[in-house]
A and B are shown apart, each in its own frame.
Chain A
């Protein structure tokens, strides 16, 4: 009898293993087919001096060496860090607040939810154009309002000074991204069983304690993951900075993605563009590795 039991259990494990592999295989197969070639291509070309239209010859790590010696590269790294940290912080904080807000039983909750998701749904290019217009010192509405409320004396060139420009791109990125975090966390909040709150309330917990013991653990995973995804996306974000400032003024908002584009398409130097892109791999890979570690541990 015992032997029979073990035999069944063993085959169940194998069955589950096979099932697991079967379920994950579409994703893995797809990503392998479509992404492996690009990665290898990128790695290879970054070791050449390829320009658009030419074959390019192997130059080893020259591109990378040039980059490391280039102060503009390091300035871009610094800008990227500032941009990402600021934008992600804003998005996560306000996103969680937004989620908590929408979880309450407010009037017209569905309508409000739909409205708050709008910034995310507008094509990036279009929303950036509108922000550019709003920030404009020529006929922009922001300057108009500030002037009329006498908050400032003369029009501010929001995109003209390095720090203001960085603030502007961070703002636009955060504006777009807050709904993403907000709705993602909200969905996590909605998965929480209402009875848990009841039980906690009966046990005498107040609002803050309930938040800490019920809400927070439940949305921890979702929030962490939303943060990871947002961070990765923010690091690769290109359109917003490119359309608003093209990396200016005087490289004040030049981040790695715009730098890569500048090399690749303004200078037609694809080898170098890829080197910029690939150089941020290792730190990012490590970041992803550690943050997803806990996610992957099964209890």
Chain B
């Protein structure tokens, strides 16, 4: 199970799992693992056949492993959970593969805009940006290299996953997409995508409202920038907000959270859906399914969820009316889920889309545009070709 920032919710998960064990008279062990270690552990486990029964999986990994045939079909469980309490409809596309569901969504992690209320005010803005154009404008206004403040705390390092989300949010909001509706080819080289990429390129190359080394930022760089007070806006999951609560009250007070800006085509936000999956070669498939039903039981689930909120957002749509989500900051998080779009857009999620993400192909394209100064249509065409190659495999 993925170890998250909240010790409270981590402990709750373990307790509840053990409770399941007690009720069933079996031994349940839960191992909490930080995200970075999962890939190695999955590989070793799968190759040696010593897999756990149930595992956390991001939805991309779930698709990839479903493609390899190592996951158990969980469509029946999915159905049961949905009937008991309605899940957000968009989640189904994230965990489906060839018509069946291979993972049960357990929580979503919205990506939001963190911004410095004080820095925006100083530049004359009382509201966070509603569109990407405004985002660019505000970034430019707040950018102040002399005092070490970066307007837009975004970057495109080689293995950066934040960048992949950022890029997609922009491209999608401008009407572009990586995949066609049937998922059989890439349509990323389009006028709409070009506009989106142009915006990002302008922020980097024309306005220069990013850090000098932004093209090598990794996933922690934007956090560092924001936490050290050197970025006016960053786009990230709620980990920053959560961290500030305990570590830096002053900065916490000055921090505002908003849903990501929208573009001409609307608001499209990359969804992050975290799930539980079952390995096919488990010795206890029936127990595993019961476990999943048990852990998603709405009342106890709610308790686990609220321990990690607002980073952990619910899978059940009705929960958004709960009190905890009415707080303005938390609202920004939960509203994001409404605009969730998953990899593979415009088609459903598929392993090719997952691979495109894992290989950071969009990142590579931006490295071409921003570092090697390739012109955008060429870079987009390169990307389109590469994506087509992945689809073909």
Contacts and interface: CB of A to CB of B under 8 A. Distances in A.
Interface residues of A, number: 27
B225 A138 contact: yes
A43 to B, nearest CB: 16
A139 interface: yes
Given A139-B230, A245-B158, A249-B371, A160 B68 contact: no
B40 A265 contact: yes
Given A249-B371, A250-B372, A52 B68 contact: yes
Given A53-B65, A159-B216, A265-B39, A154 B145 contact: yes
Interface string A262-287: 00011110000000000000000000
A201 interface: no
Nearest to A248: B158
Contacts of B214: 160
A95 interface: no
Interface in A145-167: 154-160, 165
Contacts of A248: 157-159, 216, 367
B367 A250 contact: yes
B225 to A, nearest CB: 5
Given A138-B224, A266-B358, A249 B158 contact: yes
Contact of B224 (A136, A249, A267): A136
B212 A53 contact: no
Nearest to B70: A53
Contacts, number: 82
A271 to B, nearest CB: 13
A246 interface: yes
Interface in B79-125: none
B300 interface: no
A158 B215 CA distance: 11
Contact of B221 (A138, A158, A251): A138
Contacts of B215: 157, 160, 249
A52 B372 contact: no
A246 B157 contact: yes
Interface string B200-218: 0000000000011111101
A265 B64 CA distance: 12
Interface in A14-68: 51-54
Interface in A119-153: 136-139
A155 B212 contact: yes
Contact of A53 (B69, B225, B367): B69
Interface stretch (B42-50, B308-316, B317-325, B341-349): B42-50
Interface centre among A51, A138, A155, A266 (most CB of B within 10 A): A138
A188 to B, nearest CB: 38
B42 A160 contact: no
A139 B224 contact: yes
B43 to A, nearest CB: 5
Interface string B214-233: 11101001001100101000
Contacts of B158: 245-251
B359 interface: yes
B53 interface: no
A183 B214 CA distance: 39
A182 B189 CA distance: 56
B355 interface: yes
B230 A138 contact: yes
Interface in B269-306: none
A268 B64 contact: yes
A159 B213 contact: yes
Given A160-B215, A165-B216, A250-B372, 9 more contacts: A51-B68, A138-B211, A138-B224, A138-B225, A138-B228, A248-B159, A249-B158, A249-B215, A249-B367
- What are the 7 closest A-B residue pairs judged by CB atoms, nearest first? A157-B213, A248-B158, A53-B68, A160-B213, A246-B159, A160-B216, A139-B228
25 contacts: A52-B43, A52-B47, A53-B46, A53-B47, A53-B65, A53-B68, A137-B211, A137-B212, A137-B213, A138-B211, A157-B213, A157-B215, A159-B213, A159-B216, A160-B212, A160-B214, A245-B158, A246-B159, A248-B159, A249-B157, A249-B215, A265-B43, A266-B360, A268-B64, A268-B68
Interface of B: 39-40, 42-43, 46-47, 64-65, 68-70, 145, 157-159, 211-216, 218, 221, 224-225, 228, 230, 355, 358-360, 367, 371-372
